[in-house]
Structure formats: C-alpha cells, structure tokens
C-alpha cells in the first residue's frame, strides 16, 4: 500500500479560504483521486520495466486504488500478490529447455517445457515423466515495493497532486 502526505497543502488552502472548507475538501479529494490514477499508470510502466511482465494490462488490473472522499482525504494504491507463470515472458521451447525473458534478461531454464497449449511452463520434479510443477516468474508485488518504483510513484504523486489541487481550488473558490 502506498500513501503520501498532502496535509500541508490542504491546511494552507483552508487558511487562505476561510469559510470554504467544504469546497477545499472537495478539491482535495478530486486532486488526490486524479493523482492516484496517474500514479497507477507510472507504477504499471515501472513494474513492467523491472519484471518484463507483458501485457501491461496484467499489471494494471492488479493495482487497486482506494479513492479519497471529502470526509476521508486519503488515497491509497496497492498491489495484489501476483506471480505469473514463466510462459507470460515471451517463452519459447528450445532443445535444452524453455527460453524466457523474465527480469529483463533472456535465459534458458534447463529441463523445462511448454505445456497446456503454450500457456504454462513446467519442470519435471524427478527423472520420471511425472510429477511436474509449474515454473513461476518475477513477483509483481516485490517490484511494487522496490525503492526505484516507489521513488518514481512518489515524485509523480506529489507533482500531479499540486497541479490538480491548484486547478480544483481555483475552480471551486472563484465564485
């Protein structure tokens, strides 16, 4: 879960526009929600870049936003725990095993094979034909909490909030 603090910006606007606290709260909630949408977009791109998960829709669908309201001025973005099968990383069958581009590097995974009509990479557990187990790629949630991804999300969140908040305050207090 990612949160960022904008209480200072809101407090200064409340001091400047006394008597219009309701409009300031509405402006803050809308600005937070718009900023969180942009943050989700940046997080999707950064996670895809770090892990190699494609399509980006698979990441975006697993990033959830809890919207702010005028009474609850906190927006949150969180990531589901998602570990896709290695087949999602441009997997190809070779003689030595499956070749896939996980963690931004193409690598051959020995003693693996594509099954389930190319939708799953499996590895044999022993010398015999069975049992087999699926092979997993990078964890999306682990990439979500990486320092680089967090830094990019935080920078965009602050910048976007300030822009949207100024716009919303101007719109709501001009009458």
Whether the bond between 55 and the residue before it is cis, its omega within 30 degrees of 0, is yes
User: How much is the pTM?
Assistant: 0.84
pLDDT in tens, 76-101: 999 999 999 999 898 999 999 999 99
Q: Under 8 Å CB-to-CB from 66, ≥6 apart: which residues?
A: 74, 75, 76, 77, 78
Residue 125 DSSP code: S
- With contact defined as beta carbons under 8 Å apart, do 135 and 113 qualify? no
Instruction: Count Cβ neighbours within 10 Å for each residue of 122-131 and write b for 16 or more, e otherwise.
Output: bbeeeeeeee
pLDDT in tens, 98-114: 999 998 899 999 999 99
- With contact defined as beta carbons under 8 Å apart, do 121 and 87 qualify? yes
């Amino acid at each position: 879960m990612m949160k960022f603090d904008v209480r200072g910006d809101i407090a200064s606007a409340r001091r400047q526009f006394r008597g219009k606290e309701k409009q300031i709260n509405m402006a803050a909630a809308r600005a937070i929600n718009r900023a969180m949408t942009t943050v989700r977009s940046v997080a999707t791109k950064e996670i895809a870049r770090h892990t190699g998960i494609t399509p980006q829709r698979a990441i975006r669908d697993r990033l959830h936003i809890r919207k702010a309201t005028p009474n609850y001025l906190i927006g949150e973005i969180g990531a589901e725990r998602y570990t896709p099968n290695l087949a999602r990383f441009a997997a190809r069958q070779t003689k030595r095993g499956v070749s896939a581009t996980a963690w931004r590097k193409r690598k051959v995974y020995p003693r693996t094979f594509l099954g389930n009509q190319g939708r799953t990479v499996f590895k044999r557990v022993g010398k015999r034909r069975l049992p087999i187990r699926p092979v997993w790629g990078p964890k999306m949630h682990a990439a979500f909490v990486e320092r680089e991804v967090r830094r990019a999300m935080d920078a965009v969140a602050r910048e976007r909030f300030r822009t949207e908040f100024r716009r919303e305050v101007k719109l709501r207090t001009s009458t």
